[in-house]
Amino acid sequence: MTNVDLLTDAHLTDARAAANGRSAEVVVHDGPLRQSVIALVAGVELGEHNSPPAASIQVLRGRVRVTALDEGDTELGAGELRVLTHERHGVTALEDSAFLLTTVTSVPNP
């Protein structure tokens, strides 16, 4: 069992001490399912990147901005969950933040 609150605290502490302002850990790896806790200090950005076949972001602490070409910018705060688009997107920490990123890395063909 994983205590997400303790992981969040630890990764926020590590991100604040890191030169790049980030800390992350994969906490679930089950077949194509991945869940990662990612912490970013205010102003740090995960640059634009492609989305896997399925993904969501749930903010655990702080506030982030998700940018996506077709859907525009969305701000999310602690407790908010959003499906990530199937297009390129980025994430910027508006304040020291941590989020749970859930991804499915492959989808079987019917």
User: pLDDT per residue over 25-52, tens digit each?
Assistant: 999 999 999 999 999 999 999 988 887 8
Residue 110 in any domain: the answer is: no
Residue 18 in any domain: the answer is: yes
Residue 11 in any domain: the answer is: yes
Residue 91 in any domain: the answer is: yes
Say if CB 33 and CB 89 are below 8 A apart. no
* CB-count exposure of residue 83 (10 Å: 0-12, 13-18, 19+): exposed
Q: What is the DSSP letter of 70?
A: T
- Number of folded domains in the chain? 1
What is the pTM for the complete model shown? 0.91
pLDDT(70) > 80: no
Residue 8 in any domain: the answer is: yes
Question: Nearest CA to 25 among 46, 11, 12, 15?
Answer: 11
Average pLDDT over residues 86-93: 87
Please name the amino acid found at residue 59: V
pLDDT at 87: 75
Residue 34 in any domain: the answer is: yes
CATH number, residue 98 = 2.60.120.10
Tokens of 62: 């702080």
* Structural domain for 79, as ranges: 4-104
Percent of the chain scoring above 90 in pLDDT:
72
Residue 42 CA to residue 78 CA, distance in Å, equals 14
